[in-house]
Amino acid sequence: MQKHIALLTVLGFATLTAHGNETAANNANFSAAMNRYLDKNGSLCLKLGNWPIILHEGSQSGELREMAALEAIGLVKSEDTEVAAGATEVTGKARRYTLTSLGTFVKETNWPLDVAEGELGQKTSRASQVTALEAVGLVRSSSTEAVVGNTKIKAKRFSLTDAGNVVQKTNWPQDVTNSEVSQKTSKALEMAALETAGVVAGKDYMINSEVKTKAKSYTLTETANPFVRNKREVESFGVRKTSADLCWARKALDKIVKWEGPWKRDNSQEARVTYTFKITNVADWARKPEVQDAFYEIKRVLDNAGDEAVQNLKLTNRGWEAVGGND
């Protein structure tokens, strides 16, 4: 009996010790938290939008260059098609939406975007734009640190919301017919909301469906299948399409450099870790110069491997977990 009690005591102490170790602020627990976070969120992907991607002759040159690079390495294929051009400028019948300067900022910026608190306080052009976008729900922010030279400064990390992703992934301009407005289709409602937010501007047009313009329709090939993630059917502006990310590598933890805290916030404990990351499972095609020329974000990420990054952690009943914006 005494041996049985002694054994239970030892096991109970071991359980408490294990639980205590999971909640301790140490390298092992922070490394485990970051590994779990990056296992879930570490995929590096080309978020190109919904497929098929249709680009007409007036599409932005960057979009055409991206698709041409992917087609050259066999990940996408194209076929010639035609789309309604939209013609005479007449009040009624339809409304054509084009990006404003604020919308163009969303479209052309590489997200997430770190902005120093000092810059936000000075209300620079970039700071004013991200502040305006956050106010209308197109971006969200979290606290982070930016490295300037050898100095770390407080900053805000701005990431696109779902609504912001609509702006970035859509090929502009977009036409909404009076029929779509009266039926309150998702496309009509989205365009109206974006116009209210100030990222697109609408103008009344007469759409002539008889007038066509040449375009190319791009779809993913079987060669791309090993790199496709998050594939699902979606409705984009009233049309059923396939949403899929084309992923080229993963971000993984290299090591924890240091941490600050933990400190108490809203009845919980938080800490901030500084870590370095490495890039693993890089697809061969992502290293091709023609691909990196079209998608300069790939080269930037590869060049920055080994740099320091910052992530906030929160203590939960399951141990330490990463919180905040996308890393």
For residue range 259-296, list pLDDT tens digits in order: 998 888 777 889 999 999 999 999 999 999 999 888 88
Residue 30 confidence (pLDDT) above 90: yes
Specify the pLDDT at position 128.
92
Positive or negative CA dihedral for 284, 290, 294, 299?
positive
> What average pLDDT does this structure show over 157-166?
85
Write down the mean pLDDT value for the chain: 81
Give dist(CA 180, CA 174) in Å, integer.
12
For residue range 69-94, list pLDDT tens digits in order: 999 999 999 988 876 654 433 334 77
Specify the pLDDT at position 275.
93
- This prediction has a pTM of 0.58
Specify the pLDDT at position 206.
67
Helices 162-169, 101-108: axis angle to 10 degrees equals 90
> What average pLDDT does this structure show over 26-43?
91
Specify the pLDDT at position 38.
92
Cα–Cα distance list, 55 to 26, 66, 68, 197, 292 (Å) = 51, 11, 11, 26, 21
Give dist(CA 123, CA 147) in Å, integer.
20
Confidence of residue 23 (pLDDT cuts 50, 70, 90): confident
Specify the pLDDT at position 273.
92
